[in-house]
Amino acid sequence: MAERSFVEEVKKLRLGAGEVFSGEGILAVTKALLESGVSYVAGYQGAPISHLMDVLADAQDILSDHGIRFENSASEATAAATLAASVNYPLRGAVTFKATVGTNVASDALANLASGGVLGGALIIVGEDYGEGSSIMQERSHAFAMKSQMWLLDPRPNLPCIVQAVKDGFDLSEASSTPVMLQLRIRACHVHGQFVASDNKRASFTIKQALARPQRDVNRIVLPPASFMHEKEKIEQRWPAAVRFIKERQLNEFFSEHDDDVGLVVQGGSYNTLIRALNKLGLADVYGESKVPLYVMNVAYPLIDDEFERFCQGKRAILVLEEGQPNFVEQNVADILRRLQSPTVLHGKDLLPLAGEYNTATMLAGVKAFLQRYGKVEADPKERKVIPLQPVSAEASAELAANVHARPPGFCTGCPERPIFTAMKLVERELGPHHVTADIGCHLFSILPPFNIGATTMGYGLGAASAAAFNTPGAKRAISVMGDGGFWHNGLTSGIANAVFNRSDNLTIVVDNSYTSATGGQDILSSTALNPTRSTGHAIEKAVRGVGVEWVHRVQRTYDLKTMMATLREALTTKETGPKVLIAQSECMLNKQRREKPQVRKAVAAGERVVRERFGVDPDTCTGDHSCIRLSGCPSLTIKPNPDPLRTDPIAAVQDSCVGCGLCGEVSHAAVLCPSFYRAEIITNPTRMDKFRKRLSGLVIGWLQGRDARRREQLAF
Amino acid sequence: MQEIKNIQQPIKIAILAMGGEGGGVLADWIVDLGEHHGWYAQTTSVPGVAQRTGATIYYVELLPPAPAHEKRKPVLALMPMPGDVDVVLCSELMEAGRAVQRGLVTPDRTTLLTSTHRVYSIAEKAAMGDGRVDVDVLLKHAEKAAKRLVSFDMAQAAEETGSVISAVLFGALCGTGVVPFSREQFEQTIERGGVGVKPSLKAFARGCGEAMGQGAPKAEAAAEALPNPKSPAVAQLLDRVGKAFDEKSGRLVREGVRRLIDYQDIPYASLYLDRLESLQRRTGGMDPVLTGEVARHLALWMSYEDTIRVADLKTRGSRFDRVQGEVRAKQEQQVHINEFMHPRIEEICETLPSGLGRWLSKPHFIHRMIARMTTEGRVIRTSSLPGFMLLWTLSRWRAGRRTTLRYELENQRIERWFGKILALAHAHPALALEVARLQRLVKGYGDTHARGLGNYETLMGFLEKHETQIAPATLGELREAALASEDGQKLRFALQRMAFN
């Protein structure tokens, strides 16, 4: 069950021609896929295209209406390999994954796919951004497009353009027998907007037809001599075909082309930002009417030489606004202009920073510098045109900086992964620190305070693999952490099986919370949920034993700190050789709450006895040391001013958002902290027995408490 | 190049929020408000991070319909530019500081609306002492940076109206009048949303009212009630306070007396006054700061947290009521309270009369047996009769507290510490003050207490060894270093750096 339900929004996918679609960018992409007549869609979740996968999962009835096969791929490589269906058959297919991290994993399949080429349109939708929304912000799928010679689209970030890019992408792919990548920036995926829908299209050729009459063509297989031919094909046929198509369909756009003798070149994805920068310079209005000639590349790769020749015609200089390093586009443009012996001067990274996101302020500075150099704007702009950025005194900004802390993401309230790291911290006190390799997933938040655990993260599912070198007789064992998502993504083979084969002695902790929680709580093989369209319930333990691990321990309730610590201690000290695998199981609390809350509400309404648990801290016994917070970090465990007039340190406090996971109590027991924690059980609809007991004990307790209170009252002042 | 004159601009709104605070809902409301009335509205964000307690920015642009441009669609930005934002909405005060830091708030145009409540960062929460940032600094910079600042405790407003902060912010946005829609149009947006409409509207009204300056008048700070003792013995103690101390330190001394009567009895509070009076005599009453700090720390030390004290506090009727309120139990619900206790052999020995306790703490058969029985923590249900009686009976042992091993140990420590303060008070009051403050290290229970005490002993030993050459500030620095890291590394480094080892 995914974090967000799109059941309501999915209805928009049935809109017909002429109706107005209003919603998020990623939903519009899904609609565009249906309008393009795809036969299959696959992908691996990850922000921002997680939502696309979730939309598809919630839209399975629509997909089956249209005979579309939808796959939750095991990895990006699986997703990319799925596109093999378009090699021999006129089947349109799309796959989706997150950013360069996904492209990296998929690159083997993508290289082979691009080599043989496709018959049916093959679209790779990559949720990718440069900067804030990216996981490895300096890397770009652009490089993969270049090396494998796939075409890369980067449309302007508004819904009509994005939808059109999907459709153009399929046509371009078919026209040039080449897979096409569609890069969607994170804010574009989540942008709210509108477009006029078309009717959904059913593919004329079906998967069933393909299976009924299998086709093969040895020339499409990447093996000599065919592979030599592919290289030639790419250069001699597919590339020219793509260039022709891009020109004819006018995928790239020219604005105010002849309005001046300087011009700006930008990728579609950065267009809105550029327009805002020009707007601030007084050179464009809010409708995009620009005084400066613009060449907008909705196709980021390949570059179209003719179009550059056309744009540079009569221009003294152009500025290429390209995020990232190396500056692939700028280098390519330099090459084009040089061959043309064009007198137009090329600017780019000489006027803009080499690294970092090109936000509006950065673009503004770069464009202004460019225009000033050619006398297009005054060297010293008038007061009102200056960005009203107040020069803040160093002292003031330092004072503010000291009082504004970074707020990185962390474990949720009641997260079952937190106790694993608490246990590691506590065991560390006994056995000393160990080398810990981390993985990708929620558990990676352990590298941040308060846990500060984990030395490297090499990639999704590679936690165990990245401890491979740390095997030496008689040395302390290295610890690897891996989530269930990473485990099934590739951790089982690259980490566990590899450790078995190479006789590793290390410990791998597999965090099994029943979902790929970091990407939004999707189901995977080992999920315990009953999923009507997927096969779940395949235990990680069976897989681990299946590849030959002997030492496998399972902790079925991670909140049980004592067992967690004992198992860790055992794993790190046992004389037994060979890889150790500790499977730490507890359901993701976000999902659990989402699952249980409606049930509880129903039970309460039906008058059933329901017990809610939550923790609390007694302010008069808490001394404000905050050990509990350092060992937990739960968002609902916080601090508040000390009500004691004699004390100054803030005390710990539990917010009402507490879900009563029990860790606070376990920690105070295991670490011998303090007696301040209490667990309250709040009983709704108490039974007769409950009421009777309460009355009985209340009589005695109330009498004693009343007596004591009166005594204290006597001495009060 | 000819500049375009009078470029129409969208209204630019940035929302800074953390996960689960409804920043997305707020952005959607604003978009719906605009679109419903024919405006162009665009919103976007970088979610994913926000869902997991991280801070994030939602960005909205609103553009009125322009008849002249009916066919053309506006090109709106997807991220805010520093210096180019009309409205910044913050769900929490540090986020407002972040908005200012990022340059999103500028005095020429930005209306800043922020809640003044704090959601503490992990660095603030995890500090061993007080790691909270300065709220006044945040407010000062918010005020300085904004054209107009609307700030109040929106968490409280949300709490009181049974709604969420986003609804209060939406109301405050309406109240500031920076977006040209009527209150009715705002409220209809909430109604169209259809989820939790009633409480949302209530919270909206609160926010709107506050922003329009119609907030409920602030209650006057209650004047400190004059002490009104019922017991003549207490009156006598208070009399002594009035005679020996000035107004400011007297207030703290009175709190100390109150604490120690509550902790033990009148003679114990009298002992407290005896000690403080001897300090007064030493300084001639000329050092109210020292007196105040010693009064505070001495009261805290004399009311050290032993099992008797914990049992006493846990079983009080007022505490039961407090828990009932804190967990927001309704009248018809029942509440049970379960305590997490971990009495170790050390605590058991210390609670016994000193001779017996000392005997038990020696490593013999019975010691080992009891130690084995106490390796695990226990959960005691105070709201049940057996649990309550166990703790209540223990709390009655207060009568014998002065005979316990713990009392003997603590009293020795207090005497040593206080003796040091007395010795330094006249000649070197600044150092005496720092010595007094060392008490801050000794707090908590179990391992925490042992660690703190260890640090304290280290510093006292250090003080005794180097007394003639140590500056008060150095001792203060060492105390802060001891509070800065749990494993004592910072303290070790500090001691090494000062080359005093």
Average pLDDT over residues A25-34: 95
The pLDDT assigned to B53 comes to 62
Query: Between chains, do A621 and B46 touch, taking CB under 8 Å as contact?
Result: no
Chain B: residue whose CA lies nearest to A405: B121
Q: Where are the alpha helices (DSSP H) in A96-157?
A: 99-116, 142-148
Query: Between chains, do A621 and B305 touch, taking CB under 8 Å as contact?
Result: yes
Question: Between B7, B31, B228, which is nearest A279 by CB?
Answer: B7
DSSP string, B182-213: -HHHHHHHHHHH-SSHHHHHHHHHHHHHHHTT
Res. A330 pLDDT band, cuts 50 70 90: very high
| CA gap A336, B440 in Å, rounded | 72
Q: A577 touching B, CB under 8 A?
A: no
The pLDDT assigned to B448 comes to 83
Tokens 């353009």 found at: A161
The pLDDT assigned to B11 comes to 96
For residue A151, what are the β-bridge partners?
A180
| CA gap A348, A265 in Å, rounded | 9
Q: Which residues in chain A have their CB less than 8 angstroms from residue B120's CB?
A: 638-639
Query: Between chains, do B73 and A696 touch, taking CB under 8 Å as contact?
Result: no
Minimal CA separation from A409 to chain B, in Å: 4
Q: Which residues in chain A have their CB less than 8 angstroms from residue B340's CB?
A: 664-665, 668-669, 675, 677-679
Average pLDDT over residues A498-515: 97
Query: Between chains, do A668 and B129 touch, taking CB under 8 Å as contact?
Result: no
Instruction: List Cβ neighbours of A493 (8 Å cut-off, separation of 6 or more).
Output: A547
| CA gap B182, B187 in Å, rounded | 9
Res. B221 pLDDT band, cuts 50 70 90: low
Average pLDDT over residues A428-433: 95
Are A9 and A183 a contacting pair, CB within 8 Å?
A: no
DSSP string, A193-227: EEEE-------SS-HHHHHHS----GGGSSSTTHH
Q: Which residues in chain B have their CB less than 8 angstroms from residue A50's CB?
A: 48
**pLDDT tens sequence across A134-163:** 777 778 999 999 999 999 999 999 999 999
Long-range contacts, stretch B478-481, CB < 8 angstroms, 24+ apart = B479/B434, B479/B437, B479/B438, B479/B440, B479/B441
Is A487 a residue whose pLDDT tops 80?
Answer: yes
Closest Cα partner for A491 from A515, A471, A467, A470? A467
* φ, ψ dihedrals at A65, nearest 5°: -55, -35
Amino acid at B79: M
Distances in whole angstroms, Cα of residue B126 to Cα of each of A23, A638, B129: 41, 9, 9
**Which structural domains are found in chain A, ordered by start?**
15-248 (3.40.50.970), 253-382 (3.40.50.920), 418-591 (3.40.50.970), 609-685 (3.30.70)
The pLDDT assigned to B270 comes to 97
Distances in whole angstroms, Cα of residue A717 to Cα of each of A486, A705, B255, B258, B393: 63, 20, 10, 8, 26
Query: Between chains, do A682 and B447 touch, taking CB under 8 Å as contact?
Result: no
Query: Between chains, do A284 and B376 touch, taking CB under 8 Å as contact?
Result: no
Average pLDDT over residues A1-5: 71
Query: Between chains, do B54 and A409 touch, taking CB under 8 Å as contact?
Result: yes
Closest Cα partner for B184 from B61, B21, B33, B302? B33
Instruction: List Cβ neighbours of B371 (8 Å cut-off, separation of 6 or more).
Output: B344, B345
Chain B: residue whose CA lies nearest to A290: B4
Amino acid at B378: R
A residues 162-181 lying closer than 8 A (beta carbon) to B = none
Res. B223 pLDDT band, cuts 50 70 90: low
Is B18 a residue whose pLDDT tops 90?
Answer: no
Query: Between chains, do A449 and B133 touch, taking CB under 8 Å as contact?
Result: no
| CA gap B56, B79 in Å, rounded | 12
Whether the bond between A214 and the residue before it is cis, its omega within 30 degrees of 0, is: no
Two tokens at B182? 């009527």
Long-range contacts, stretch B101-106, CB < 8 angstroms, 24+ apart = B101/A397, B101/A400, B101/A401, B101/A404, B103/A389, B103/A390, B104/B14, B104/B80, B105/B142, B105/B145, B105/B146, B106/A388, B106/A389, B106/A390, B106/B82, B106/B145, B106/B146, B106/B147
Question: Between B229, B328, B384, which is nearest A717 by CB?
Answer: B229
Question: Between A280, A616, A706, which is nearest B84 by CB?
Answer: A280
Question: Between A448, A520, A700, which is nearest B385 by CB?
Answer: A700
Lowest mean pLDDT among A613-627, B211-225, B275-289: B211-225
CA angle A567–A571–A574, rounded 5-degree value: 120
Q: Which residues in chain B have their CB less than 8 angstroms from residue A403's CB?
A: 94, 97, 133-134, 137-138
Size of interface A-B (CB pairs under 8 A): 379
Over chain A, what is the mean pLDDT?
Answer: 94
Q: Which residues in chain B have their CB less than 8 angstroms from residue A664's CB?
A: 340
Q: Which residues in chain B have their CB less than 8 angstroms from residue A694's CB?
A: 334
Average pLDDT over residues B470-478: 90
Length of chain B: 501
**Buried b / exposed e along B298-337 (16+ C-beta atoms within 10 A):** bbbbbbbbbbbbbbbbbbbeebbeebbebbebeeebbbbb
Lowest mean pLDDT among A10-14, A92-96, B443-447: B443-447
**pLDDT tens sequence across B320-361:** 999 999 999 998 999 999 999 988 899 999 999 999 999 999
Minimal CA separation from A188 to chain B, in Å: 7
**pLDDT tens sequence across B115-159:** 999 999 999 999 988 999 999 999 999 999 999 999 999 999 999
Query: Between chains, do B229 and A694 touch, taking CB under 8 Å as contact?
Result: no
Distances in whole angstroms, Cα of residue B59 to Cα of each of A51, A511, B80, B192: 19, 35, 7, 21
ipTM exceeding cut-off 0.90 for this assembly: yes
* φ, ψ dihedrals at A124, nearest 5°: -110, 110
Burial of residue A76, with CB atoms counted within 10 A of its CB: 0-12 exposed, 13-18 middle, 19 or more buried:
buried
Amino acid at A386: V
Q: A394 touching B, CB under 8 A?
A: no
Lowest mean pLDDT among A334-338, A396-400, B318-322, B438-442: A396-400
Tokens 């166990």 found at: B390
Chain B: residue whose CA lies nearest to A292: B1
The pLDDT assigned to B214 comes to 58
Torsion over CA: B138, B139, B141, B146 (sign): positive
Strands A317-321, A262-267: pairing kind: parallel
Q: Which residues in chain B have their CB less than 8 angstroms from residue A708's CB?
A: 315-317
**Buried b / exposed e along A100-125 (16+ C-beta atoms within 10 A):** bbbbbbbbebbbbbbbbbbbbbbbbb
Is A209 a residue whose pLDDT tops 80?
Answer: yes
Q: Which of A421, A626, A689, A704 is the mutation pick for testing B, counting most B CBs within 10 A? A: A626
**pLDDT tens sequence across A672-705:** 888 999 999 999 999 999 999 999 999 999 999 9
The pLDDT assigned to B222 comes to 55
Instruction: List Cβ neighbours of A349 (8 Å cut-off, separation of 6 or more).
Output: A322, A325, A327, A330
The pLDDT assigned to A246 comes to 98
Q: Which residues in chain B have their CB less than 8 angstroms from residue A192's CB?
A: 28, 31, 41-44
For residue A153, what are the β-bridge partners?
A182, A299
**pLDDT tens sequence across B264-291:** 999 999 999 999 999 999 988 888 899 9
Two tokens at A442? 């929620």
Long-range contacts, stretch B126-132, CB < 8 angstroms, 24+ apart = B126/A449, B126/A450, B126/A626, B126/A629, B126/A630, B126/A633, B127/A626, B127/B483, B128/A625, B128/A626, B128/B483, B128/B484, B128/B485, B128/B486, B129/A624, B129/A649, B129/B440, B129/B483, B130/A624, B130/A648, B130/A649, B130/A650, B132/A639, B132/A650
Two tokens at A263? 């011009």
The pLDDT assigned to B50 comes to 44
Distances in whole angstroms, Cα of residue B429 to Cα of each of A52, A191, A646, B284, B290: 69, 64, 21, 12, 7
Torsion over CA: B432, B434, B437, B438 (sign): negative
Is A78 a residue whose pLDDT tops 90?
Answer: yes
Q: Which residues in chain A have their CB less than 8 angstroms from residue B119's CB?
A: 638
| CA gap B311, B324 in Å, rounded | 18
User: CB B27: neighbour CB atoms within 10 A?
Assistant: 25
* φ, ψ dihedrals at B85, nearest 5°: -125, 135
A residues 61-120 lying closer than 8 A (beta carbon) to B = none
Two tokens at A589? 């609390």
Minimal CA separation from B207 to chain A, in Å: 22
Query: Between chains, do B7 and A48 touch, taking CB under 8 Å as contact?
Result: no
Lowest mean pLDDT among A66-75, B42-51, B445-454: B42-51
Two tokens at B330? 């309704």
Q: Which residues in chain B have their CB less than 8 angstroms from residue A412's CB?
A: 52-53
**pLDDT tens sequence across A371-405:** 999 999 987 655 544 454 555 567 778 999 999 99
Over chain B, what is the mean pLDDT?
Answer: 90
| CA gap B323, B346 in Å, rounded | 29
DSSP 8-state symbol, A294: E
Q: A669 touching B, CB under 8 A?
A: yes
Q: Where are the alpha helices (DSSP H) in A412-474?
A: 418-431
Question: Between A283, A646, A680, which is nearest B1 by CB?
Answer: A283
Two tokens at B62? 């609103």
Query: Between chains, do A405 and B94 touch, taking CB under 8 Å as contact?
Result: yes
Q: Residue B233, Cα to own-chain centre: how many angstroms?
A: 36
Amino acid at A680: A
Is B47 a residue whose pLDDT tops 70?
Answer: no
Q: A522 touching B, CB under 8 A?
A: no
